[in-house]
Amino acid sequence: MVGMRIALVGDRSPGVRAHTRIPLLLDALRERDGIALDPYWIPTTDAGDLDGFDGIWVVPGSPYASEEGAVGAVRTARERGIPFLGTCGGFQHMLLEYARGVCGLDVAHAENGPGRDFLLTPLACTLAGHEVPVRLVAGSMIEQIMGVRESVEAYNCSYGLNDDYRRTLAGHGLVFSGHGDDGGVRVAELPGHPFFLGTLFQPELAGDGGRVHPVIAAFATAVTQHATQHATQHAAHQPTA
């Protein structure tokens, strides 16, 4: 059987609701969809070498113990073509990595302390503990995953993209495919990558944990495809008797 190892990058805590939900969601994936993922919780301080994983999910729970570790996990997924999902804090650090690594910007996250120019800044109105609509761009990956143009999603965050940088990131290829009623960015994706998606909302918090959110199911499918492809390539390079 193909091993499907995913790195859950974040500083695991029983006090973070998303962290307690993720094991339930992985059980539901196995029972309902027949997708058995092998999860490894990786603290951000230990996220330096993730090449061997078939998927990387930077989970909520920021501020992280290591901003460098969270950003590095995103970079590994982007550069190595590994399926990536970033939710809440993971979404924020996905943007941070892209701004630094692709756009060449010297920017910081306001949540992580003093910095230079802030890419991530406090939202005008916090979304922590709220369920609010997100509008999806027609034809985008997230719209195809969700199958709708608008969805009500759960949030637990207070930081988002500084709109001053939206045009620069978009000009370097990042697609902002979901927005709030105020026009603020809620979803970002990278065309041409096997799966590179970030959501400011937390799909982990949808429902009662017994049914997997479409975003997580799509990530799991991408992980499966990645693992199968690599197993096939490995077998093709094995010497024949």
Overall fold of domain 5-236: Rossmann fold (3.40.50)
Cα–Cα distance, 241 to 161 (Å, whole number): 56
- List per-residue pLDDT tens for the chain, 241 residues long: 456 999 999 999 999 999 999 999 999 999 988 999 999 999 999 998 899 999 999 999 999 999 999 999 999 999 999 999 999 999 999 999 999 999 999 999 999 977 779 999 999 888 999 999 999 999 999 999 999 999 999 999 999 999 999 999 999 999 999 999 999 999 999 999 999 999 999 999 998 878 899 999 999 999 999 999 876 665 555 665 5
Contact 24, 208 (CB under 8 A): no
Cα–Cα distance, 63 to 109 (Å, whole number): 10
